[in-house]
C-alpha cells in the first residue's frame, strides 16, 4: 500500500479503502531516537522558535521520511497546519486538506466524508467495510482501557501508548490487534495495582515527554487511569456508521463536547486529581481556564516544548501535586466528590 502521512487522527477508513497505509506523523516524531533533529530541520527551514514543536516535528518527519502524500487537518485540530500545508506544497509534496465540520453533526460529517472519499478515489461504502474490519482492534484497545481503570492490571503508560497508536494502528492493524491480544493475556496473569494508589486523569494533547511522565507518576504511588484524547483516538462511541463515529469523536469540536466526556469519565473512574498537559505556544492552552472552572478536582497544568524528557522543575511540581493529593484524599468523601463533579 502507498504510504500517506496524517497530521492527526482522521477517518483512516477512507484512506485504507483508497489503498493507502496511513502513518501518524506525530508517532514517527516521538518514536525517533533523536526527535530534536527533526525539529531542527524545521527551524533551519525558517519555522519560528515560538512555533509548536509538534508542527515543526511533523515538518521534519515529512522532509526526512520521503512520504509524498500528507492529509493535513486544517479544521478541528490546529490552525498552524494551514501554513504547514503550504510549506509542504512548496517543497513539492502532495498536501491534501481535510476539515472536520464546525459542529458534530451527522449530516455535515457525511458530506465531509464523501468529499474525502471522492478526493482519494474511493467510496463511503468501501470505507464502511474497512470500519467493520478495524472494529475488533478498536474493541480490544478499549478493553485494555477497561483493564487500566476497572481491573487495575494495565499501567498508565500502556494505556497511553496503545490508545494513542489507534490513530494509525502502528501502520498495520492486524499486527496491532495481535500484539494487543498478547498484552491482554499478559495483564490477565498480573496482580492488580494496589487500590490505595492515587488515580489520575490526563487531559489535553499527548505530551512530548510521555515516555518518562507515566513511569515517574507510578514510581510516586499514583497511576493515570484516564487518558482523554488518546482514548478518543480509539473511537469509544462508534455508533452505526462512519458519520456517527466521527461525530461522536470529541477532539475536533468545542471544548464543551470534550468536557461532557471528561466529566463522565472522571466520575466513573473515581479520579483523585487531573493533569492538564499544554504544549508551549498552543492555542489549546487557553482552555485551561475553562477546565479549571468546570472541573472541581485538583488540577496540575504541565507544559512541554521540545524537551522529550522530564526536567527537574516538572518532576518537583508533580511530586508536590501528588503529595498534596495524598494529604487531602481523606477529606474527599465520595458523596461530596460526586456532587462536585456534577456541578
Q: Give me the residues that bind ligand SF4 (CB under 6 A), please.
A: 52, 54-55, 77-78, 80, 205, 279, 282, 284
3-state secondary structure of 275: strand
Min dist CB 285 to ligand SF4, Å, is 8
DSSP H or E segment with residue 6: strand 2-6
Tracing cell 466513573 back to the chain, one arrives at 268
Cα–Cα distance measured from residue 326 to residue 196, given in angstroms and rounded to the nearest whole number: 10
CB of 24 to ligand SF4, least distance (A): 13
In the complex, minimum distance from the CB of residue 54 to ligand SF4, in angstroms, rounded to a whole number = 4
Question: Which H/E stretch holds residue 23?
Answer: strand 20-24
Q: Which residue in the block uniquely carries the three cell numbers 470529541?
A: 250
Minimal distance, residue 284 CB to ligand SF4, in Å: 5
Tell me how far apart the alpha carbons of residues 135 and 154 are, in angstroms, rounded to a whole number: 21
In the complex, what is the shortest distance from the CB of residue 326 to ligand SF4, in angstroms, rounded to a whole number? 31
Place of cell 467493520: 132
C-alpha cell at 220: 510516586
CB of 77 to ligand SF4, least distance (A): 6
Smaller CB separation from ligand SF4, 180 or 282: 282
Helices 80-90 and 53-65, axial angle in degrees (round to 10): 20
Give 152 or 279: the residue with its C-beta nearer to ligand SF4. Answer: 279
> Could you tell me which residues are beta bridge partners of residue 275?
202, 300
Alpha-carbon distance 85 to 79, whole Å? 10
Closer of 55 and 300 to ligand SF4 (Cβ): 55
Residue 230's φ and ψ, nearest 5 degrees, are: -60, -40
* Helices 255-268/287-294 angle, 10° precision: 40
CA dihedral in degrees (116, 122, 126, 132; nearest 10)? Answer: -40
Kindly state the smallest distance separating residue 64's Cβ from ligand SF4, in Å. 18
Least Cβ distance, residue 26 to ligand SF4 (angstroms): 8
The residue number whose beta carbon is nearest to ligand SF4 equals 78
Residue (39 or 55) nearer to ligand SF4, CB: 55
Rounded-to-integer distance, Cα 120 and Cα 106, Å: 21
Amino acid at each position: 500500500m502507498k504510504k500517506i502521512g496524517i497530521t492527526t487522527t482522521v477517518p483512516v477508513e477512507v484512506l485504507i479503502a483508497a489503498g493507502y497505509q496511513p502513518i501518524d506523523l506525530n508517532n514517527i516524531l516521538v518514536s525517533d531516537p533523536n526527535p530534536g533533529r527533526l525539529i531542527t530541520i524545521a527551524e533551519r527551514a525558517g519555522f519560528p522558535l515560538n512555533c509548536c514543536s509538534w508542527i515543526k516535528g511533523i515538518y521534519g518527519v515529512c522532509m526526512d521520511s520521503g512520504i509524498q502524500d500528507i492529509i493535513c487537518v486544517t479544521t478541528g485540530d490546529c490552525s498552524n497546519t494551514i501554513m504547514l500545508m503550504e510549506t509542504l506544497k512548496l517543497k513539492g509534496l502532495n498536501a491534501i486538506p481535510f476539515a472536520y465540520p464546525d459542529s458534530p453533526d451527522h449530516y455535515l460529517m457525511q458530506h465531509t466524508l464523501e468529499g474525502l472519499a471522492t478526493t482519494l478515489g474511493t467510496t463511503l461504502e468501501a470505507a464502511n467495510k474497512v470500519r467493520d474490519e478495524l472494529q475488533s482492534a478498536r474493541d480490544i484497545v478499549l478493553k485494555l482501557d477497561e483493564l487500566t481503570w476497572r481491573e487495575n492490571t494495565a499501567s498508565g503508560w500502556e494505556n497511553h501508548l496503545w490508545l494513542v497508536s489507534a490513530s494509525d494502528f502502528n501502520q498495520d492493524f492486524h499486527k496491532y490487534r495481535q500484539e494487543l491480544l498478547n498484552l491482554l493475556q499478559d495483564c490477565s496473569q498480573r496482580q492488580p495495582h494496589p487500590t490505595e494508589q492515587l488515580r489520575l486523569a490526563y487531559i489535553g494533547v499527548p505530551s512530548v515527554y510521555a515516555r518518562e511522565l507515566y513511569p515517574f507518576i507510578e514510581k510516586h504511588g499514583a497511576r493515570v487511569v484516564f487518558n482523554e484524547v488518546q482514548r478518543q483516538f480509539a473511537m469509544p462511541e462508534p455508533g452505526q456508521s462512519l458519520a456517527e463515529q466521527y461525530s461522536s469523536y470529541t477532539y475536533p469540536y468545542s471544548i464543551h463536547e470534550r468536557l461532557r466526556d471528561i466529566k463522565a469519565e472522571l466520575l466513573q473512574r473515581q479520579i483523585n486529581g487531573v493533569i492538564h498537559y499544554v504544549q508551549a505556544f498552543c492555542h489549546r492552552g487557553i482552555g485551561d481556564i475553562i477546565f479549571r472552572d468546570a472541573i472541581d478536582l485538583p488540577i496540575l497544568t504541565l507544559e512541554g516544548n521540545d524537551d522529550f524528557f522530564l526536567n527537574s522543575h516538572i518532576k518537583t511540581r508533580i511530586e508536590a501535586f501528588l503529595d498534596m493529593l495524598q494529604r487531602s484524599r481523606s477529606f474527599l468523601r465520595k458523596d461530596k466528590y460526586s456532587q462536585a463533579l456534577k456541578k
